[in-house]
Amino acid sequence: MKDTLSTDLTARPLSKTLITVMAAAIGLIVANLYYLQPLLHQVKGEFGVSPASASLLLTLTQFGYAAGLALVVPLGDLIPRRRLVVAIFLVSAVLMVVGALLTSFVAFAAITLFIGLSSVGGQVIIPFAADLAEPSQRGRVIARVMSGLLLGILLSRTVSGLVAQAAGWRTVYWGAAALLAIMAYVLHRVLPEEPVRSHVPYAKLVAGSFSLLVTLKQLRRRAWFGALIFAAFSALWTTLSFHLSGAPFHYSNGVIGLFGLFGVAGVVAANLAGHSADRQRSHLATIAAAGLIGTSFLIFYLGRHSFVAIALGIIILDTGMQGMQITNQSIIYSLSPESRSRINSAYMFCCFIGASLGSFAAGQLYAAYGWAGDCWLGGGIGLGLLVPALIWRTPITV
C-alpha cells in the first residue's frame, strides 16, 4: 500500500537539521521523567519520607505520562502538531517552575503527576517524523529521532545528579524549565505546517486509540513487549539510587547520576534495530533484546556488591530495552499510516502503565527484600518477554 500520508506531508525532504532538532526536543522533554531517579535518596531526606514513599514519586510521574499519552497524544491526529507540540513544551516549562518552588511533599507528589502528563511532547513528534520520512527509510529516521530520546534519558540522570550535588536538586527543575521554554520557541520556528485534517470528535479520537489495540494484533503484541521493557527499566532505576547510596558503595548524587552514561550502548542498539527493522529482521531482534533484559537482572543479582557488575548490567539492560523499543515502533508505525498518533498513544500508554507498575512493585519489593527483591522482579519480567518473543513471529508484511 502506498504511504500517501507521508507523500502529502513532504513538500520538501526531511532534512538532517530538522531530524536533529526533533531529536533534541524529544530528549529534552522526556528528561522530565528521569531527573528524580538518581536524586530519590536526597529528596527522601529533605521531605523526611520513607524510601517506599519517595519511590511513589516516580510511579506518579509515569502514571501521569500514561494519562497524557491517552488524553493528549491523540490530539496529534486532530490539531496541527506544530501548534500542539509548542503548547505542550510551554505548559511543561511552567510546571517545572512550580515543582521547583514547592516545599510540601504531598503538593510535590501531586505536581509530579502533572509534570508527567505534560511531558508527552516527544510522543507527538515521533509519529510526526514518521509521517515526514520516506517509507523505505522510516526505521532509520525513527532510530535517529529516538537517539535523542535515549540521550535525554541517559543525560538527564547524569546532569541531574551533578547539578544537584553542586547546587541542590531544585536547581535541576529551574534549569529544565528554562530549556523547555527555549525549545518551544525553536520548534515554533522550524516545524513544518500540515494540511488541514478532517474533524473527529475528541471522545471518539481518544477511544479510537484503544480500539486499535482490539483490531491490530501486532499492536497488541508490541504493546505487551513495550509494557514489560518499561517495567524492567523502572524496576532498576526506582531503587538503584537507594542501593548505591548505601553500603558498600555510599556514592554521592553526582556519582549515581554518572551510572546513566553506561546506557549509551542503547543508542547504538537503537540504530542497529532500526536497520534490522528496515531489513525485515524484527523477530530475531526481538528475541535477542528479550534475552539481554533477562540476563541483565541475573548480573545485577550475582554482582550486587560490584561496581563493574552493576555497570555491565546497565549496559546490557539498556541495549536490550532500546533494541526492543525501536523494533516495536518500526512495526507499529507501518500498521496504519493515517492513525500514527493514535497508534503511538495506545502503544506508549501501555508502556508507561508498565513503567508505573514496575516502579511501584520495585519500591515495595525493595522495602521488603532489598536489592534481591528488585532483581527477582526483573528476572520475572525477562521471562515474560522471552517466552512470547520465541512464540510470536512477526510477519514480513505487518
Residue 73 pLDDT: 83
Amino acid at 136: S
Backbone angles phi, psi at 281, to 5 degrees: -115, 30
Residue 12 pLDDT: 46
- What range defines the domain where residue 128 resides? 4-391
Separation between Cα atoms, residue 82 and residue 366, nearest integer Å: 42
Residue 2 pLDDT: 42
For residue 205, tell me if it sits in a domain: yes
Contacts of 327 (CB under 8 A, 6+ apart): 273, 276, 277, 282, 285, 286, 289
**Cell matching residue 326:** 525501536
The neighbour count for residue 363, using CB atoms within 10 Å, is: 27
For residue 114, the domain's CATH number is: 1.20.1250.20
Q: Which residue has the cell 551510572?
A: 259
- Kindly report whether the peptide bond that precedes residue 248 is cis, defined as omega within 30 degrees of 0: yes
Per-residue pLDDT of the chain (398 residues; tens, 9 = 90+): 444 444 444 444 578 889 999 999 999 999 999 999 888 888 888 999 888 889 899 999 989 998 998 888 888 878 888 999 999 999 999 999 999 999 999 999 999 999 999 999 998 898 888 778 777 677 678 778 877 887 888 789 889 989 998 898 999 999 999 999 999 999 999 998 876 666 677 787 778 778 889 999 999 999 999 999 999 999 998 899 889 988 899 998 788 888 888 877 666 655 665 555 555 577 888 998 999 999 999 999 999 999 999 999 998 998 888 888 888 888 887 888 777 778 888 898 899 899 889 989 998 999 899 999 999 999 999 999 999 999 987 554 43
For residue 396, tell me if it sits in a domain: no
Residue 150 pLDDT: 77
Residue 5 pLDDT: 44
Separation between Cα atoms, residue 144 and residue 335, nearest integer Å: 20
For residue 325, tell me if it sits in a domain: yes
For residue 326, tell me if it sits in a domain: yes
How far is the CA of 14 from the CAs of 7, 24, 86, 135, 331, in angstroms? 11, 16, 19, 12, 20
**Cell matching residue 357:** 507498575
**Cell matching residue 118:** 505534560
For residue 207, tell me if it sits in a domain: yes
The neighbour count for residue 79, using CB atoms within 10 Å, is: 18
This prediction's pTM: 0.77
What are the helix (H) ranges across the chain?
A: 4-9, 16-30, 40-47, 51-71, 81-101, 105-117, 121-132, 138-167, 169-190, 202-215, 217-245, 253-258, 265-278, 282-302, 307-332, 340-369, 371-391
The neighbour count for residue 30, using CB atoms within 10 Å, is: 22
Contacts of 224 (CB under 8 A, 6+ apart): 350, 388
Amino acid at 135: P
For residue 209, tell me if it sits in a domain: yes
For residue 397, tell me if it sits in a domain: no
Residue 397 pLDDT: 41
How far is the CA of 206 from the CAs of 217, 283, 344, in angstroms? 19, 30, 12
For residue 362, tell me if it sits in a domain: yes
Backbone angles phi, psi at 335, to 5 degrees: -80, -45
In contact, 219 and 331? CB cutoff 8 Å: no
How many domains in the chain? 1
